[in-house]
Amino acid sequence: MNNDKNTIHNQKHLTFSDRTYIEQELLQNNTFRYIGNVLHKDPSTISKEIRKHVKMVDGKRASGHCIKCKHYTSCEIRGYDSVVYECKHSSYCKNICKRCWRERPPQFCSIYMSFVCDKPIHAPYACNSCVTEKDCPLSHPVYAAKTAQIAYEKTLVKSRTGINMTPDELLELNELISPLILKGQPLSHIFAVHADEIPVCRRTLYNYLDQRIFQARNIDLPRRVRYKKRKKKSAPRTAKNLQQVYRNKRTYIDFERFMEAHPDVDVVEMDTVKGGRAAGKCLLTLLFRSCSLMLVILLPSCTQKCVIDAINSLTDTLGIRMFRKYFPVLLTDNGSEFKNPWDIETDDDGRHRTYVFYCDPYVSNQKARLEKNHEYIRYVIPKGRSMYKYTQEDINRMTSHINSTARDSLNGATPFDLADLLLDKRIPLLAGLKKVSPDEVMLKPALIESNNSKEATYEE
């Protein structure tokens, strides 16, 4: 066994197996150093563990107090006494009967002296190895692994309950966190921007919200009460839909083959977001996989013509060269509005500008980034709400706030931050998007309501 003083000891807590081993070694009367070397702990750790978790065991019950006397083994008058003792069973009796001897106090014995054991005072501070432990008449300490583990677990739970902050620190944290949550900002964005100012981890912050310590509540978190249980993934349907003409050489398998042949090509995911069930305005969403920047175009209706007109307008705004460079591949679903890939792939002059591919039917996770980004839209425009009163300016304001939200998937960065590195800086500007100051980010319906006169602070 290595007894080098420079040995690095294990800093983890003692487990139930470790405590069982300690209990067994105490029966063998082994030293703390020996036990510590086996468990990779400092001997003082073993000593503290035993002294902290020993339990007092009552001594063996014996007749009378004689067995607790220091002179018990050498006593010649055991059962007798020179002093007359008033007995309940006879008027005066020098020959004390057994029953009287149990009941009478020790001071009636002229040579009685209490026995004191000094073994618990010194290491190992427990009487596990004492040969007379089972027959000992005195209360004595014993180390038991099961009892020690239960006491340890209670201490562990107690140390982690309550709030480990002063009232002033809690008030300061509330003033920082609550206004941002009430604006609809997710905790991932708050932590990315204010990580140095928040003295607790995200899990602790969720616990504080559960305990209703802050002004903000669980109901104010975007996904805390709205997030539904995930459904089992369904297998792709391959019978009827794959035979449709528009999907010819444009299936998801064709997309994967195309990306294997062109690994450096950027991919843009495309979809639509509807308001109510009735026909009316909807949103065309385009998301760059490389940086998660999302462009949102307001459509008069969810039709093929409106989608093609929006793509043509975007091409005219950016120019055919920039569109070809940054929109080389469009990956979308099988919605009826996208079932004219020929006009999407070419402009009005017949020039090729992009390739269109389709996900497998009912497999939305094949364009998961865009589906995930739609959650941010639903924070501002709840599902079922009509979009008839919104303008493209309102949608641009919403999109600017969404793209200014920090993401865990981007290591705390925002889509705008990555877009500055990976895309042409003219794309967000031509799309009408502006970066929003982190503390001004708002993901609530009030952001684009007509009566909302408060404007966010935009960064230059």
Give the tens place of pLDDT for each residue, 46-79.
999 999 999 888 776 654 556 666 656 666 555 5
- Of the candidates 322, 268, 265, 331, the one whose C-alpha atom is nearest the C-alpha of residue 295 is 268
d(CA 251, CA 341): 12
d(CA 136, CA 129): 12
* pLDDT score at 362: 85
Tokens 């706030």 appear where? Answer: 401
Determine the average pLDDT of the residues in 128-147: 80
* pLDDT score at 242: 44
Q: Please report, for the chain, the start and end positions of each structural domain, with discontinuous segments joined by +.
A: 16-75+111-158, 167-220, 243-447
User: What pLDDT band is residue 186 in, cutting at 50, 70 and 90?
Assistant: confident
* pLDDT score at 96: 44
Q: Maximum distance among all alpha carbons in the chain? A: 132
In this predicted structure, the answer to whether residue 135 has a pLDDT above a threshold of 60 is: yes
Q: In degrees, to the nearest 5, what angle opens at C-alpha 397 toward C-alphas 181 and 192?
A: 40
Determine the average pLDDT of the residues in 198-222: 84
Return the number of other C-beta atoms located less than 10 Å from residue 413's C-beta: 15
Tokens 């149990």 appear where? Answer: 102
The amino acid at residue 55 is: K
Spatial neighbors of 219 by CB under 8 A, at least 6 apart, are 225
How does pLDDT run across 328-361, given as a tens digit for each residue?
Answer: 999 999 988 999 999 999 988 889 999 999 999 8
Question: In this predicted structure, which of 21-35, 131-145, 382-396 has the lowest mean pLDDT?
Answer: 131-145
How does pLDDT run across 253-288, given as a tens digit for each residue?
Answer: 999 999 999 999 999 999 999 887 777 899 999 999
CB 199 within 8 A of CB 458: no
Determine the average pLDDT of the residues in 194-199: 87
Of all residues in the chain, what percent are helix, strand and coil, respectively (each to 5)? 40, 10, 45
In this predicted structure, the answer to whether residue 148 has a pLDDT above a threshold of 90 is: yes
CB 299 within 8 A of CB 281: yes
pTM: 0.64
Return the number of other C-beta atoms located less than 10 Å from residue 179's C-beta: 13
**What values do phi and psi take at 256, rounded to 5?**
-65, -40
- Token readout for 413 is 């960065």
In this predicted structure, the answer to whether residue 95 has a pLDDT above a threshold of 80 is: no
Instruction: Please state which CATH class domain 243-447 belongs to.
Output: alpha beta
**Torsion of Cα atoms, 297 then 301 then 304 then 310, to 10°:** -30
Q: In degrees, to the nearest 5, what angle opens at C-alpha 64 toward C-alphas 61 and 66?
A: 100
- Token readout for 159 is 């140390």
* pLDDT score at 98: 43
The DSSP code sequence of 222-256 is TTTTTPPPPPPPPPPP-SSGGGSGGGTT-SHHHHH
Return the number of other C-beta atoms located less than 10 Å from residue 357's C-beta: 22
**What is the length of the chain?**
460
d(CA 113, CA 102): 16
Hey, CA dihedral for 202, 204, 209, 215, is it positive or negative?
A: negative
* pLDDT score at 99: 43
- Of the candidates 286, 263, 309, 317, the one whose C-alpha atom is nearest the C-alpha of residue 419 is 286
* pLDDT score at 205: 85
